[in-house]
Structure 1
Amino acid sequence: MPALRIKSPELLVAESGADLEGHGLKRTMGLFQLICFGVGAIVGTGIFVGLSDSVAQAGPAVVVSFVLAAITCVFTAFAFAELGGAIPVSGSSYSFAYAGLGERTAFLVGWCLLLEYGVSVSAVAVGWSQYVNELLDSLTGLELPAALSAGPGDGGVINLPAVVVIALASVLLVRGVRESARATAAMAVLKLAILVVFCAIGFSAFKDGNLTPFSPAGLGGIGAGTTAAFFSYIGFDAITTAGEEARNPRRDIPIAILVCLGLATLLYCAVALAAIGAIGGDQVGGRPAALSYVVNEVTGSTAGGAVIAFGAVVAIASVVLAVMYGQTRILMSMARDGLVPRVFERVSPKTSTPVTGTLLVALVFAVPAAFASLDAVVNLCTIGTLAIMAVVNVTVIALRRREPGLTRSFRVPLYPVIPVLGVGFCLYLMYETGWTTWIQFAAFLAAGCLVYALYGRRNSRLAKSAAATRTDAEAVSQAV
């Protein structure tokens, strides 16, 4: 049965390093580059754009929401750290599921990764467009016309800035991993510095009274805020997609995951407290480009807001770059296994990057970025990511039982309590997304099952290899 087609961790690692048909990647990323890559994938739209939505739900208690979302991610981060160190390949959670739960589950995980990596690129690009307009307004007093800076759902015709940032990221990615890593590192350092400056400005105007009432919507508001805040953490698992391009993946990937998650949590809580403490939750909640507005209100000029807007433009562009990188590597791993067309596994001998796959990804996800609104994709992206995280926690348990001797450079502490809690937190946040999102997600999974049945199952290289082995065994048996 396809569900029982399991690819061993040893085979996954061997195939990734075999440089089959010239499809190998170069190991050029060290620990610092991995941490910057992780920061680049995480810190962006969620805090620069999504903070206002989280505050609108939870009020000042959004800090609690960020912590709860982080706890959910920490449980799963332990799982990703163990699996990323044990199976250092570019397939991330797709490859982990293939080794632990079988081919059909792995395909559906890869299908959901189209939501986490692919659709989130579109959402992030839409957020980038908001801050481009804010920056233009601060510097020149002019804005792009609504018809060219927003999709139909937001009162425009086409979101050209969103398309532009995806195109720029794809150009940088096809030039090479070394160039992309350098750009990501520079952007990560810059946006962290700007967020630290924002915190300094916000806390300079901090008023205790702005934090009351602390939780105006009660526990329900905190729960809804947690679901909204979770979008801010999407992308930390992208670090594991660099498994084939990290110089020492077994050591560096677990460290990079935990460092990035801890850094993001501290930063998010500090930014939220600074913003609300400066002008109050009512002023932050639901406001586009909220961080620029806070700085403008505190300083009484638009200069500070322009700096924050510039930081947001850089920050969100780095997320597009890092997440597109992850998406292309996932598709490359699936193509190696025959579950998606082989065009995605072709690596340029000149740049050592999947050029054609990168350009196809950019083309496909520029379409929703151009015509969809941010709100239309955030919840669907969130529920898909949570489903993947639940599967990764289950995979840790499955591999501990099936592969007890597997070399693990990091082990999930308090096993099996932590993975079980990870699954529980993921299911709770999935529930909080609402029944409409569940219906959309069910339809998305049904489409994935259909694609697997019509293409993936028939073209699976593992299935063909098993069939060839059976045929050889039968031939030998008949000869004897």
Structure 2
Amino acid sequence: MERPTITPEADKTQLKRTVTLLPLTLYGIGVIVGAGIYVLIGETAARAGFYTPLSYLMASMLVALTAASYAELSTSFPVSAAETAYIRAGLRIEALATLAGLLVCASGIISSATLVQGGAGYASSLTGLPPLALAVFFALFLGTIVGLGIELSVGVIATITVIEVGGLLLIAVLGLGNIDAVQAGVAAHYTPFDMSMAVGVISGVLLAFFAFIGFEDMVNISEEVKEPERTMPKAIAMALICVTIVYMAIASVAVIYVDTAELAASKAPLSLVFERVTSLSGAPISMVAIFAALGGVIAQIVMSTRILYGLGRMGKLPGWFGVVHPRTQTPVNATVLVTAIIVLLAMTLPTRQLAETTAAGTLFAFSFVNLSLWRMKGRPDYRSGGFTIPRIVPLLGAVLSMSFLLNELIRRIL
């Protein structure tokens, strides 16, 4: 079985293995939750109505197929630029493997620029400072955090994750803990489940699916994880389970306390839910959303730089990208370049529109990563690094990812 090769010019200073199970799990939760649930809950409710929690549950089960493929592959190839390594070993098409890695990297950079703009917009409304200046400051500040070391980056993300998940759990506990309000809300908003609702739930699944994307970023820091063969599968599973529980709890509170039409029309749906549950201002949740956006930027910068680093070490990009700073033990050149591109995009381009294309790049990678594992598991010389799944799982994951990708492409065209 082919293993990733490392170019001699890049094989000097190594990345530092310091990330353990709990920080990695918090990193994964933070990447997945990001800012998605704060916006997507309203749009999902518009489709699935009272049964929005069911859409999230079904979406998590579908995402779990691809997550399982990533978990197994991470034990066999615990490297940066993971998608490239997986596809290269499974399908043996070098150009396709490199393209997949670059698409995931580009998705991370564009998402970062979008999140920086969003966070700057919120901060501008609170401080009165120009959003453009704030966007540049945020990008440079967060890029510096990433450049200073993986321990600091993961620590900041873990802290932000505790804050944002804590905010979500607060809404869930207060909302579901008020039995009288729950009974009144169910009586007011319940709708019988029929064929039209079934169609709405399935449509909601298509949207809720994207609220779970992010787990794939975890495998790209495999070279900085202690015992990745054991740690990575556990962290991916724990992150998905935790996120699913939180999403279903929040979705339940949302459809119980707020009419779905009103929820869908709100620009800050979770702030609205918080107001209905507590009768307080939704400003604290808006603040949490800012933290979530900025934490998402750090995670995306980490992921993008590690892909460029990995491609540089594999010889798919110039070895300059694979250079690691001897003191911080981070890919300094890749970090500077990624941060500069994010600043440029945040200043000059309509990144909110560009960000709509990032889902297609991610689904492209999902499709071929699943196919790669399916092909590898059919070879007599393939041996998993530890964690293993039935061969039907990556095949189902590939079919599902390609279906979502086709749906995205058709939606863009029409």
Specify if TM > 0.5.
yes
Report the equivalent of 1:171.
Answer: 144
In the TM superposition, residue 371 of structure 1 has moved relative to its aligned partner by 5.2
| Distance in 2 between residues matched to 1:434 and 1:223, nearest whole Å | 18
Aligned residue among 163, 172, 175 for 1:202? 175
Which is worse superposed, 364-373 or 41-50? Answer: 364-373
**Bigger radius of gyration:** 1
Greater CA deviation, 310-319 or 188-197? 310-319
Q: Residues 308, 181 of structure 1: CA spacing in aligned structure 2 closer, same or farther, 3 A cutoff?
A: same
Q: Give the unaligned 5+ runs of structure 2.
A: none
Match of 2:327 among 336, 339, 350: 350
Asked if 1:321 corresponds to 2:260, the answer is no
Q: In structure 2, what is the equivalent of residue 307 of structure 1?
A: 284
Q: What are the residue-to-residue correspondences of 1:392-471 with 2, within 5 Å?
A: 392-402=369-379, 404-412=381-389, 415-437=390-412
CA distance, structure 2, for counterparts of residue 375 and residue 286 of structure 1? 19
Partner of 1:478: none
- Post-superposition Cα deviations, 1:50-103, rounded to whole Å, max 9, x if no partner, equal 222222333233323222321221001110010001111112212111111221
Q: Which amino acid aligns with 1:193?
A: G
User: For 1:353, what is the secondary structure of its paired residue?
Assistant: coil
Q: Secondary structure at the match of 2:266?
A: coil
| 1:82-132, Cα deviation, whole Å (9 max, x unpaired) | 000111111221211111122111012112213432222233334434544
CA distance in 1, matches of 2:14, 2:255: 49
Q: How does 1:96-107 map to 2 (within 5 A)?
A: 96-102=86-92, 103-107=94-98
Separation in 2, partners of 1:199, 1:288: 20
Mark the CA change 1:327 to 1:403 in structure 2 (over 3 Å): closer, same or farther.
farther
CA offset digits 1:351-382 (Å, max 9, x no partner): 11112211211221334444556752454222
TM-score normalized by the length of structure 1 = 0.78
CA-to-aligned-CA distance 1:144-173 (integer Å, 9 cap, x gap): 48xx44xxxxxxxxx554444332221100
Distance 1:46 1:403, change over 3 A: farther
**Contact kept? 2:364, 2:401, Cα under 8 Å:** yes
- Larger deviation, residues 427-436 vs 185-194: 427-436
Structure 2 matches for 1:125-204, cutoff 5 A? Answer: 125-129=116-120, 131-132=122-123, 136=126, 144=128, 148-149=130-131, 159-203=132-176, 204=178
Distance 1:258 1:403, change over 3 A: farther
- Give the match's secondary structure for 1:348: coil
What's the CA shift for 1:330? Answer: 0.6
Q: Mark the CA change 1:172 to 1:350 in structure 2 (over 3 Å): closer, same or farther.
A: same
Tell me, yes or no, if the aligned pair for 1:127 and 1:374 is still in contact at 8 Å: no
Matches of 1:241 and 1:180 in 2, distance apart?
14
Residue 179 of structure 1: how far off its partner (Å): 1.3
Q: Does 1:330 align with 2:307?
A: yes
The aligned runs of 1:24-423 (5 Å cut-off) are 24-102=14-92, 103-129=94-120, 131-132=122-123, 136=126, 144=128, 148-149=130-131, 159-203=132-176, 204=178, 205-206=181-182, 207-208=185-186, 209-212=188-191, 218-302=197-281, 305-370=282-347, 376-402=353-379, 404-412=381-389, 415-423=390-398
TM-score normalised by length of structure 2 = 0.89
Distance (whole Å) between structure 2 residues aligned to residue 222 and residue 320 of structure 1: 31
**1:363 partner letter:** A
- The alpha-carbon distance between structure 1 residues 407 and 429, as it changes in their structure 2 partners (threshold 3 A), is closer
Contact 1:58–1:216 (CA under 8 A) maintained in structure 2: no
Q: Deviations over 1:397-444 (max 9, x none)?
A: 2222346343421001xx2221121112212222332525369xxxxx
Percent of aligned positions that are identical: 28
When residues 334 and 51 of structure 1 are mapped into structure 2, their CA distance, relative to the original with a 3 A threshold, is same
Change (3 A) 1:65 1:433: farther
Q: Bigger shift: 159-168 or 418-427?
A: 159-168
**Compared with structure 1, are the counterparts of its residues 263 and 343 closer, same or farther at alpha carbon in structure 2 (3 Å cutoff)?**
same
CA gap of 1:59–1:132, structure 2 versus 1, over 3 A, is farther
Report if aligned partners of 1:118, 1:324 keep a CA contact under 8 Å in 2: yes
- Counterpart of 1:84 in structure 2: which amino acid? S
Contact 2:119 2:293 in 1 (8 A): yes
Distance 1:237 1:356 in 2: 23
